[in-house]
Structure 1
Amino acid sequence: MEHYIKSTDYECWVIIQKGPLAITVTDSDGNSAVKSEESYVEADYRKVEKNSKAMSILQYGIGEQDINRISGCTSAKDIWDTLILAYEGMSQVKKQRNDLLMQQYEMFNMMKDESINYLSCRFSSIVNELKGQGR
């Protein structure tokens, strides 16, 4: 998903990672405040649209089972963080998943009556999951 988002609109990927762009105004004393929607100019609307576009990309990229999980999210970053937590889990879960995958990799062998194609697919699946876990 990361590669797709980067290739679609790299600025959306930045918004997903860092959060929505803040629309602020600075007064004569140098103090910043959130700008009201009534005073937005065209550039401000483009910034707001980027978060909405990033949210849309993420929503279209997930299955129906995850819609309820992200329905309360108000930014693309919130959606991404929710999905990361759901699919990658906390550090302890990640470690257990890595250990299980390493065990499957180390003990990999051909099953009785297994075709070469199926064997290759199983092996590729384990290797790809390990790469996805950063191993």
Structure 2
Amino acid sequence: MHFIQGTDYECWVVIENGPLAITITDANGESCVKAPKDYTSNDYKEAEKNSRAISLLQSGISESETNRIAGCKTAKQILDSLALAHEGTVQVKKQRIDLLMQQYESFRMHEDEPIKSMSSRFSNITNELSNLGRQFETEDIVRKILRSLTKKWR
């Protein structure tokens, strides 16, 4: 997301919202899709945004993901396809959050576990929850880590 926004923010807008329709107002004052033969140079620049957005998305995915997006015609379709594949449906997302919250709540440092390893395990849980939209206050995380330490560390 940040790579695309930093490269071309308008491409990110096209990815989130879909391609812009190049329109013209007809004699009746109604808006209709403009034929490519009638495009101006600015129209072509707008039309290129979807292609540039697709290119940016394709450059960031693995070869194994290429088949998943092969039938997509717009950058928005690619994003939706990848989101569904990796995040799942709303129901799957909620179940994943429930599972991770259970791991968060029952988190404990293992005996003889290095602090770095424990911190890494805990960060993986909180980062996954954050990616799914479940945020924690810093003080809550610190308190949770302190409660999770073994007697040796207390």
TM over 0.5: yes
SS of residue in 2 equivalent to 1:81: helix
CA distance, structure 2, for counterparts of residue 117 and residue 105 of structure 1: 17
Q: How does 1:97-116 map to 2 (within 5 A)?
A: 97-116=96-115
Deviation by residue 1:52-83 (Cα, 9 ceiling, x = unmatched): 11111111111122110001000011101111
Paired letter, 1:37: P
Work out the percentage of aligned pairs sharing the same amino acid: 59
Count of residue pairs brought into register by the alignment: 134
TM-score, normalised relative to structure 2: 0.82
Is there any run of 5+ residues in structure 1 with no aligned partner, and where? none
Aligned-residue offset at 1:114? 2.7
State the distance in 1 between where 2:117 and 2:62 align.
26
Matching residue of 2:152: none
In 1, the alpha carbon distance for the partners of 2:4 and 2:99 equals: 30
Match of 1:42 in 2: 41
The residue number in structure 1 matching 2:75 is: 76
What whole-Å deviation, never above 9, does each CA across 1:31-60 have from its counterpart, x for those lacking one? Answer: 222212111110011011111111111111
Which residue identity is paired with 1:127?
A: T
Specify the alignment match of 2:10 in structure 1. 11
Structure 2: give runs of 5+ residues left out of the alignment: 135-154
Amino acid in structure 2 at the alignment position of 1:58: L
Tell which structure's C-alpha radius of gyration is larger.
2
Residue 125 (structure 2) aligns with: 126
Residue 29 of structure 1 aligns to a residue in which SS? coil
- TM-score norm. by structure 1 comes to 0.93
1:52 matched to 2:51? The reply is yes
Q: Larger relative CO (CA 8 A, sep 6+): 1 or 2?
A: 1
Does residue 22 of structure 2 align to residue 23 of structure 1? yes
Describe the SS at the equivalent of 2:29.
coil
- Structure 1 residue 113: deviation in Å? 4.2
* Divergent runs of 4+, >4 A: none
CA RMSD in angstroms comes to: 1.2
